[in-house]
């Protein structure tokens, strides 16, 4: 007999999700797809969810992460880490006007989407040079220079594998 399979489309997939049954595209409306038919052995349902890196913005009422962004790829949260203090993550400011991009030059976006747990992402950022003063407060004009840089992000579950490291998920914006 006929029966149905319902697939929920996560919000992060946006409008890019596709579903095929035996190679035939199915209509995707809203946040669910229901495939109703008399299934036979060998039928194949393929759900493809885009896994593009994207910025996530917090609720501005959360004081600890106000004016920050996080980066996610699909359901995977990414983070910046600094093994052995190689970079002071407290000085990093991310440019939210430049979308995050795939980091690995050897991997295509399609390859990264197939294995998002291993892929890395880069964001456009600046390193702020702190003014050399013992007093922690100063006029805005007394701030230091900003050095453009590209910050490499890894999946959160992979941080710390290179030894002791500082880590940040929520990155202040420029």
Residues 31 and 70 in one domain: no
> First vs last Cα of the chain: how many Å apart?
59
Residues 95 and 135 in one domain: yes
φ and ψ of 143, to 5 deg = -65, 160
Residues 65 and 101 in one domain: yes
Residues 83 and 162 in one domain: yes
pLDDT at 141: 59
Residues 6+ apart with CB under 8 A from 80: 89, 92, 151, 152, 153, 167, 168, 171
Residues 18 and 95 in one domain: no
pLDDT at 102: 82
Residues 82 and 115 in one domain: yes
pLDDT at 133: 61
Residues (pLDDT < 50) of the chain are none
Residues 23 and 57 in one domain: no
Residues 36 and 64 in one domain: no
Residues 70 and 13 in one domain: no
Residues 44 and 60 in one domain: no
Last residue of a domain, one of 48, 63, 85: 48
Last residue of a domain, one of 48, 63, 83: 48
Residues 116 and 162 in one domain: yes
pLDDT at 52: 87
Number of domains in the chain: 2
Residues 139 and 97 in one domain: yes
d(CA 78, CA 68): 14
Distances (CA, A) of 41 to 6, 22, 24, 111: 18, 11, 17, 30
Domain carrying residue 134: 53-172
């Amino acid at each position: 007999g006929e029966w149905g399979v319902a697939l929920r489309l996560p919000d992060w997939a946006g409008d890019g999700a596709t579903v095929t049954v035996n190679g035939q595209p199915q209509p995707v409306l809203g946040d669910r797809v229901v495939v109703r038919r008399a299934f036979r052995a060998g039928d194949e349902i393929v759900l493809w969810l885009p896994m593009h890196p994207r910025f996530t913005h917090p609720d501005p009422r959360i004081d600890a992460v106000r004016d920050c962004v996080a980066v996610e790829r699909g359901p995977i949260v990414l983070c910046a880490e600094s093994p052995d203090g190689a970079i002071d993550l407290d000085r990093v400011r991310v440019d939210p006007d430049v979308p995050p991009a795939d980091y690995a030059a050897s991997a295509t976006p399609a390859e990264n989407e197939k294995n998002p747990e291993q892929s890395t992402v880069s964001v456009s950022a600046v390193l702020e040079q702190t003014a050399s003063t013992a007093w922690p407060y100063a006029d805005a004009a007394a701030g230091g220079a900003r050095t453009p840089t590209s910050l490499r992000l890894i999946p959160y579950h992979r941080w710390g594998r290179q030894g002791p490291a500082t880590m940040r998920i929520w990155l202040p914006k420029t």
